[in-house]
Amino acid sequence: MVSGWFQAAALPVPERAVVVVDLGAQIFRVGIIDGEGCTLALQEAEAVGVDRQGLLQDLAPAAELLGKLVRRVETLADHQADEILTTVPGPLLRSYSSDGKVAVPEGVVESGHLLRAAEHAVFSEEISPGSRLVHALRRGCRLDGQDHVVRPMGLAGHRLVVDFFWVLLEQRAAETIDQLFSMADLPKPAFIASPLATAIGGLTRDEAILGAVSIDLGHAATGMTVWKDEVPQAQFHLPCGGRHLTGDLRQVFQVSSEVALDIMKSQIPAVAEMADEEGRIRVGRKRIKRRKAARVLQSRLEDTFHRVRGLLSTQGYWGEANNGIVLSGGVSRLEGVQALAEAVFECPVRIAGMEAEDRQWTWPPTHEEIVSLKARPDLVTLAGAMEFARLNLLNLGSGKRGPQPTTTGVPAPQVHDLRGELGALQEGL
């Protein structure tokens, strides 16, 4: 069951363990947390069985690798996982928001009224048969015309309106992921939308309240999640990412994909002016100008940022972006990417990561001899998925440890998923 409106948070059980998997287009990452929410181990490996779009194609090698990674973290942590949570790539998801309106003839709001409101809301749009409900997030309530009702249960009123944010996954894609874990001899996983996990890991509580946009510069795609009033407002993705950067390098310099990736790893900046004009990169028998390579990256990133700005503007969310943009993902580790993004977006931009290296703790709480998440914006998605697991699978919530800090050390958004309480809806989809 999932903690939320209808049940108290469970007491932590140290013997429990949850494995958290991030099925990235380029890298598979696996972590494990114990019943108190502490991260005990982290392993990663280059993804296999994934196509250019970051979608699973060849399940056999992917399942073999996944099984090895899970067994490795269980061995390192000396814990056997009871549950598994995995991220779902943004391109596979569909999200929308809707209102559920119900009458309260008894005069007092009860759980049944909330469930009826959810049923009315989820079916307000046409849904393809067999869609799987990934997230059911409450965005707000209105009781007898009064907005911003936080906890409607037990309040007196006669007309209840509940605003929900839904994330759905096509059944075929869900079955593919289930089959992957079955082939790896692992339990059936729970799902978390990758863009949502990135936002939980990267945004601060203030950003989530006032409004901000989390942008994940991934390998296969660029994902965006718009937040305001502590809840997600929208999710989008663009089919452009790190693979396009390596593709551009491959075409410009006439090299293989492996060599293009090596060029990317040679600390090439994202802004041409930051590269040494006389600097060279030795690639086999070739010597490539660093500034020319940086100019290739800058051109592609400028195009990506302009496309992101255009999408957010046309969808009506540029106001939230103006409050601040948080970049994460492997591409965000390039030198100068923050300055380039600020020039294109014309608003505050920061890279998700630890603010100070001298902290006595990391987030999430970890066994630091094995796990370190400092200055790793590429691990933000996994870190956010871990926090989601703490709150919704381990039911630790704010009663046990309070709001957890993001990778900046500032309290993160708290996201309660109501899937467990809306089981009847899941069966009806």
CATH label of the domain that carries residue 60 = 3.30.420.40
Does any domain span residue 296?
A: no
Q: Per-residue confidence at 420, pLDDT binned at 50, 70, 90?
A: low
Q: Looking at the structure, do residues 84 and 141 belong to the same domain, yes or no?
A: no
State the pairing for strand pair 159-169/222-228: unpaired
Examine the pLDDT at 397 and tell me if it is beyond 70.
no
C-beta of residue 255 within 8 angstroms of C-beta of residue 227: no
Residue 418: what pLDDT?
Answer: 73
Examine the pLDDT at 318 and tell me if it is beyond 70.
yes
Does any domain span residue 206?
A: no
Q: For 375-392, how does the pLDDT look when each residue is reduced to its tens digit (9 = 90+)?
A: 788 889 998 999 899 888
Query: Residue 328: which of 425, 222, 401 has the closest Cα?
Result: 222
Does any domain span residue 232?
A: no
Residue 402: what pLDDT?
Answer: 44
Q: Looking at the structure, do residues 24 and 36 belong to the same domain, yes or no?
A: yes
Q: Per-residue confidence at 43, pLDDT binned at 50, 70, 90?
A: very high
Most confident of 6-15, 50-59, 405-414: 50-59
Query: Residue 136: which of 101, 171, 172, 97 has the closest Cα?
Result: 97
Residue 363: what pLDDT?
Answer: 44
Q: How far apart are CA 211 and CA 342, in angstroms?
A: 17
Q: How far apart are CA 175 and CA 187, in angstroms?
A: 13
Does any domain span residue 238?
A: no
State the pairing for strand pair 325-328/349-351: parallel
Residue 126: what pLDDT?
Answer: 65
Q: Looking at the structure, do residues 177 and 193 belong to the same domain, yes or no?
A: yes
Percent of the chain, pLDDT > 70?
Answer: 84
Q: Per-residue confidence at 355, pLDDT binned at 50, 70, 90?
A: very low
Q: Looking at the structure, do residues 161 and 29 belong to the same domain, yes or no?
A: no
In the chain, count H helices and then E strands. 13, 15
Does any domain span residue 99?
A: yes
Q: How far apart are CA 67 and CA 336, in angstroms?
A: 37
Q: Looking at the structure, do residues 41 and 74 belong to the same domain, yes or no?
A: yes
Does any domain span residue 144?
A: yes
Q: Looking at the structure, do residues 140 and 186 belong to the same domain, yes or no?
A: no
Q: Looking at the structure, do residues 162 and 97 belong to the same domain, yes or no?
A: yes
Query: Residue 189: which of 23, 364, 426 has the closest Cα?
Result: 23
Q: Where are the alpha helices (DSSP H) in 265-371?
A: 290-314, 318-323, 337-345
For residue 51, what are the domain limits?
Answer: 17-90+173-197+356-422
Q: How far apart are CA 247 and CA 217, in angstroms?
A: 15
Q: What is the mean pLDDT of residues 324-333?
A: 93
C-beta of residue 327 within 8 angstroms of C-beta of residue 377: yes
Q: How far apart are CA 51 and CA 53, in angstroms?
A: 5
Report the CATH number that the domain containing residue 135 is assigned in CATH. 3.30.1490.110
Does any domain span residue 397?
A: yes
Q: Looking at the structure, do residues 189 and 70 belong to the same domain, yes or no?
A: yes
Q: Percent helix, strand and coil across the chain, each rounded to 5?
A: 35, 25, 35
Q: Looking at the structure, do residues 119 and 161 belong to the same domain, yes or no?
A: yes
SS3 270: coil
Q: Looking at the structure, do residues 51 and 62 belong to the same domain, yes or no?
A: yes
Q: Looking at the structure, do residues 55 and 146 belong to the same domain, yes or no?
A: no
Residue 4: what pLDDT?
Answer: 35
| DSSP bridge pairs for 132 | 169
Query: Residue 160: which of 100, 245, 239, 232 has the closest Cα?
Result: 100
SS3 9: coil
Say whether the peptide bond before residue 187 is cis (omega within 30 degrees of 0). Answer: no
Examine the pLDDT at 428 and tell me if it is beyond 80.
no
SS3 18: strand
For residue 15, the tally of other CB atoms under 10 A from its CB is 9
C-beta of residue 384 within 8 angstroms of C-beta of residue 199: yes
Residue 409: what pLDDT?
Answer: 59
Q: How far apart are CA 188 and CA 191, in angstroms?
A: 10
Could you give the number of structural domains in the chain?
Answer: 2
Q: For 272-315, how does the pLDDT look when each residue is reduced to its tens digit (9 = 90+)?
A: 999 888 888 887 778 889 999 999 999 999 999 999 999 999 99
Alpha-carbon separation of residue 170 from 61, 127, 137 (angstroms): 23, 10, 18
In angstroms, the first-to-last Cα distance of the chain is: 19
Strands (E), 241-379: 280-283, 286-289, 325-328, 349-351
Q: How far apart are CA 203 and CA 196, in angstroms?
A: 10
Does any domain span residue 314?
A: no
Q: For 72-101, how does the pLDDT look when each residue is reduced to its tens digit (9 = 90+)?
A: 999 988 899 989 999 999 989 988 888 889
Residue 362: what pLDDT?
Answer: 41
One-letter identity of residue 319: G
Q: Looking at the structure, do residues 30 and 149 belong to the same domain, yes or no?
A: no
Residue 10: what pLDDT?
Answer: 46
Q: How far apart are CA 313 and CA 243, in angstroms?
A: 25
Query: Residue 392: which of 21, 3, 6 has the closest Cα?
Result: 3
Query: Residue 135: which of 87, 82, 201, 187 has the closest Cα?
Result: 87
